[in-house]
Chains A and B, each alone.
Chain A
C-alpha cells in the first residue's frame, strides 16, 4: 500500500539534517479560536519549501487537542496512554525519584503544554528564518502563548554528550526505502491508517481524517551526567584501551558508530561512517554476548534476532523511529569534574503504538533485565541503576550497582496529525 507522503508531516518521516540546529517550542492555548487560526497559519510551513529549508513539525498533547475543542467522541479514540499523558505514566516508565514528575522542569508534564513545535534546520540562518516565521504566526494570535523553549544543535564532534554517534539504528519502513539486510517494517507500525505488523491497524480516532497519516510523538528531555559517566569508566579501567572497550560494551557500538558485533576488538571509523554497513548485522552468532553484551544499550533497545528462538516476543512489534537531538554545551574532552551545565539529549520517538513500542522498550528492555535472564540488571547507560555483565573469555566481568547516568527532566506524549487533520482541526467550530 502506498504511503500518502504529501499528507504526512515531513518532519516525522525524514531524518534530520546533519549537521543540524533546532528549536523546540511548547505553546499553551488560552483561546481556542486563536489556537485554530495558528494551526491554519502553520500548515504551509510544514513542508521544507514553506519553512525555508527547515523541517517544522507540529504536534499536540491530549490536553492540547481538548484545548482546541476537538469533540469528546473524537478524543475518545486516541491511544489510552496518550490520553493519560507521560507524567501519569511516570511510575510505569521508571521516572521516579529525581527523574519523577515532581522534579521535572516546568511546564513539562503539567496541564499547560498544548502544542509542541519542533524546527530543525541545516544551519542557524535557516533556523532563525523558520523560527521567526513560526513566531510571527504565533504573534498574530495572542490567545496562544509560548511557555517553553529548548534549543538543540549537533555537537561539533557529530556525537552525543557521552561521546557516541547516535541515530544509526532506525527501522526500514515499507514504502520509504530499504536497508541492507533488513525486511522493512510495515508502515502501519509508524503511521496511522495503514496495515501494521499484526495484520491489523492501530486504533484510530473518528473521523478518519483526524487519525489517518498521523503519528504519535514521544519526547523526553534527558539530562546526561557526562562527568560521572567518564569518571565511572576511568575508575574501572586499567588503561585507556580498557576504558574505551568498557564504554563500547555499555552502548553496543564504538564512538564512531561501528557496531561491536562487526568490530569486536576496536573502533573502526570507516565502518561507523558507512551507512551501507554500520547497521547490517545481527546477534544470532553471538547469543552469549561475547562480542556485544546482551545487556548493552543498543542490543537491549533492539535485540534484532537474539530472541527469535524464544517464541515469546516478536521484535518487529517493538521498533521505533528515533529523531533525537543534543542540547547543552559539550563537556570538554578529558574533563572528569561536573561543571554544573545541563546537557543531554532530547529523545524523540515516532510510532503508531506508543505503548507497545516506546513504553515496552523502555520498561521491558531498558529498565528491566528479565528478558535476558538477569532481573537484577538494567540498561548500563539509560537504566534505573543495576548490574551489568560483560561476557568475556575466560571469565565474565560483572559491574555491580551502576549509578544512573541519565535523569529525566520531563517529557510529553504528543500526536502529530496529517496535514488534512490539521485543516480539520483549524476548521472546528463551536457548537451553537
Chain B
C-alpha cells in the first residue's frame, strides 16, 4: 500500500471513493437514476463490459436514508493522473446521477468538475485485494484459461501435454 497520492493502491490498482450529499428531497429520483443506470448495457445483470475498461468494479451506495451517496471503485493506475480524462468524458455517463447530489452544476468546465470530484474524494483507511493484475491482465488470463479448458476437452490433449515444454500446463490439468 502506498499513501503518497490520494487513494491507496495495491500493485497497479488504486481505490477511489467519493462521498456525496444528496440534494434534499432527491432521494427517490436518485434511486430511479440508479435503476436506470443498472439497466444500461455494461451494467445490466449478466453484463461484464463496463464502458470504462480500466475499472474492476463499481458501486453506488445511497445511505443515511438516501441523504448521502457513496461511489466506490477500483481503478488500474493512479486515478488522480486520469482526472482530466474522467472529468472530460466518462463522468458524463453519470450525469443523471450526479444531478441529484450537492455541488454538481452540470459540467460547465473541467476545473469545476475536478473541484467537485476532489471535494468528494476520501482516501480509504485500508485497502487490500485478493488478486493482482490489471483488468487487461485478468481478461487475458480468462481467455487463456478458456483456451486451456478447450484443449483439455480434446481427447488428444493427454498425449500432447506430455511434451516436456508443457509440464507447467500439465500440472494444472488434473482438476
- Tell me which residues from 293 to 350 in chain A have a Cβ below 8 Å from any Cβ of chain B: 309-314, 317
**Residue pair A370, B88 in contact (C-beta under 8 Å):** no
**Residue pair A372, B110 in contact (C-beta under 8 Å):** no
A200 CB–B CB distance under 8 Å: yes
B119 CB–A CB distance under 8 Å: no
CB-CB under 8 A for A313 and B85, given A198-B110, A200-B109, A373-B134? yes
A356 CB–B CB distance under 8 Å: yes
**Residue pair A310, B52 in contact (C-beta under 8 Å):** yes
A432 CB–B CB distance under 8 Å: no
**Residue pair B52, A312 in contact (C-beta under 8 Å):** yes
User: Within 8 Å CB of A310, what residues of B?
Assistant: 52-54
A416 to B62, CA, bound (A): 49
**Residue pair B81, A198 in contact (C-beta under 8 Å):** no
| Number of chain B residues whose Cβ lies closer than 8 Å to a Cβ of chain A | 28
For A313, the closest partner residue in chain B by CB is B85
**Residue pair A312, B109 in contact (C-beta under 8 Å):** no
A31 CB–B CB distance under 8 Å: no
User: Within 8 Å CB of A420, what residues of B?
Assistant: none
The number of A-B residue pairs with CB atoms under 8 Å apart is: 66
- Tell me which residues from 70 to 87 in chain B have a Cβ below 8 Å from any Cβ of chain A: 76-78, 81-82, 84-85, 87
Q: Which of B81, B109, B110, B136 touches A373 (beta carbons < 8 Å)? A: B136
For A360, the closest partner residue in chain B by CB is B81
A30 CB–B CB distance under 8 Å: no
User: Within 8 Å CB of A375, what residues of B?
Assistant: 11-12, 133-134, 137
Q: Which of B51, B78, B85 touches A317 (beta carbons < 8 Å)? A: B85
User: Within 8 Å CB of A360, what residues of B?
Assistant: 81
B140 CB–A CB distance under 8 Å: yes
- Tell me which residues from 346 to 371 in chain A have a Cβ below 8 Å from any Cβ of chain B: 356, 360, 363-364, 368, 370-371
A71 CB–B CB distance under 8 Å: no
B102 CB–A CB distance under 8 Å: no
User: Within 8 Å CB of A427, what residues of B?
Assistant: none
A231 to B82, CA, bound (A): 37
B57 CB–A CB distance under 8 Å: no
A374 to B77, CA, bound (A): 11
Q: Which of B78, B85, B139, B140 touches A314 (beta carbons < 8 Å)? A: B85
- Tell me which residues from 195 to 217 in chain A have a Cβ below 8 Å from any Cβ of chain B: 197-200, 203
How would residues 84 to 110 of chain B score, 1 for a CB under 8 Å from any chain A CB and 0 otherwise?
110111100000000000000000011
- Tell me which residues from 37 to 72 in chain B have a Cβ below 8 Å from any Cβ of chain A: 51-55
B32 CB–A CB distance under 8 Å: no
User: Within 8 Å CB of B139, what residues of A?
Assistant: 373
User: Within 8 Å CB of B52, what residues of A?
Assistant: 310-312
**Residue pair B137, A373 in contact (C-beta under 8 Å):** yes
**Residue pair B134, A199 in contact (C-beta under 8 Å):** no
Kindly provide the distance from the CB of B28 to the nearest chain A CB, expressed in whole angstroms.
29
A138 to B127, CA, bound (A): 57
CB-CB under 8 A for A370 and B85, given A310-B52, A311-B52, A312-B52? no
For A199, the closest partner residue in chain B by CB is B109
**Residue pair B77, A311 in contact (C-beta under 8 Å):** no
**Residue pair B110, A199 in contact (C-beta under 8 Å):** yes
For A371, the closest partner residue in chain B by CB is B77
A413 to B129, CA, bound (A): 38
User: Within 8 Å CB of B82, what residues of A?
Assistant: 312-313, 364
**Residue pair B111, A200 in contact (C-beta under 8 Å):** yes
Kindly provide the distance from the CB of A105 to the nearest chain B CB, expressed in whole angstroms.
27
For A376, the closest partner residue in chain B by CB is B12
Q: Which of A309, A356, A368 touches B84 (beta carbons < 8 Å)? A: A356
Kindly provide the distance from the CB of A227 to the nearest chain B CB, expressed in whole angstroms.
34
**Residue pair B134, A370 in contact (C-beta under 8 Å):** yes
For A312, the closest partner residue in chain B by CB is B54
User: Within 8 Å CB of A197, what residues of B?
Assistant: 88
**Residue pair B134, A314 in contact (C-beta under 8 Å):** no
**Residue pair A311, B81 in contact (C-beta under 8 Å):** no
User: Within 8 Å CB of A317, what residues of B?
Assistant: 84-85, 88
Kindly provide the distance from the CB of B11 to the nearest chain A CB, expressed in whole angstroms.
7
User: Within 8 Å CB of A309, what residues of B?
Assistant: 53
- Tell me which residues from 238 to 269 in chain A have a Cβ below 8 Å from any Cβ of chain B: none
**Residue pair A312, B111 in contact (C-beta under 8 Å):** no
User: Within 8 Å CB of B85, what residues of A?
Assistant: 312-314, 317
**Residue pair A198, B136 in contact (C-beta under 8 Å):** no
User: Within 8 Å CB of A311, what residues of B?
Assistant: 51-53, 89-90
Contacts A314-B84, A372-B136 given; 13 further ones with Cβ under 8 A?
A199-B109, A309-B53, A311-B51, A311-B52, A312-B52, A312-B55, A313-B82, A368-B77, A370-B12, A370-B77, A373-B134, A373-B136, A375-B133
Chain A interface residues (CB < 8 Å from chain B): 197-200, 203, 309-314, 317, 356, 360, 363-364, 368, 370-375
A-B residue pairs in contact (CB < 8 Å), sample of 9:
A198-B88, A199-B88, A310-B53, A317-B85, A364-B77, A364-B78, A368-B77, A370-B76, A375-B11
5 closest A-B pairs (Cβ-Cβ)?
Answer: A373-B136, A310-B53, A200-B109, A312-B54, A198-B110
Chain B interface residues (CB < 8 Å from chain A): 11-12, 51-55, 76-78, 81-82, 84-85, 87-90, 109-111, 133-137, 139-140
